[in-house]
Amino acid sequence: MLSMGSIGSCYDNSMIESFWGHMQTELLNRKSWRTRLELANAIFEYLEVFHNRKRRHSRLGIRTPVEYEKLYEQTQILRSGI
C-alpha cells in the first residue's frame, strides 16, 4: 500500500495537480508577461503573498497556510507547557 510521501504515490500527484490547476486559473490564465523575469516575479508574489497569506484552504479548516502554522505552533507550545 502506498502512502503519501512514498515514491509513486498517487496522493502526492493529486495534491500538486490541484495546486497547479489553481495557479493556472488564478494567475496564469489572467495575464501574459513580456519577460520570464516578470513571470517569475508574478509566480513568487502569487505563492508568497496570495497563496500563503490570503488564500484560504479547505484542507486547513478554511485558514491560510500562515494562519494554520501559527495555530499549530500555539498548540505545540500549550502541549509542551512552555
Cα–Cα dist 80/78, whole Å: 6
What is the reported pLDDT for 65? 86
The full set of domain ranges for the chain reads 10-80
Q: What angle (nearest 5°) sits at the alpha carbon of residue 68, between those of residues 7 and 14?
A: 30
Backbone phi, psi, residue 63, to 5°: -120, 160
* pLDDT tens-place string over residues 10-64: 666 777 888 889 899 999 999 999 999 999 999 999 888 887 788 888 888 888 8
- Cα angle 31, 65, 9 (rounded to 5 degrees) comes to 85
**pLDDT at residue 68 is higher than 60:** yes
Which amino acid does the sequence have at 7? I
Beta strands in the chain (DSSP E): none
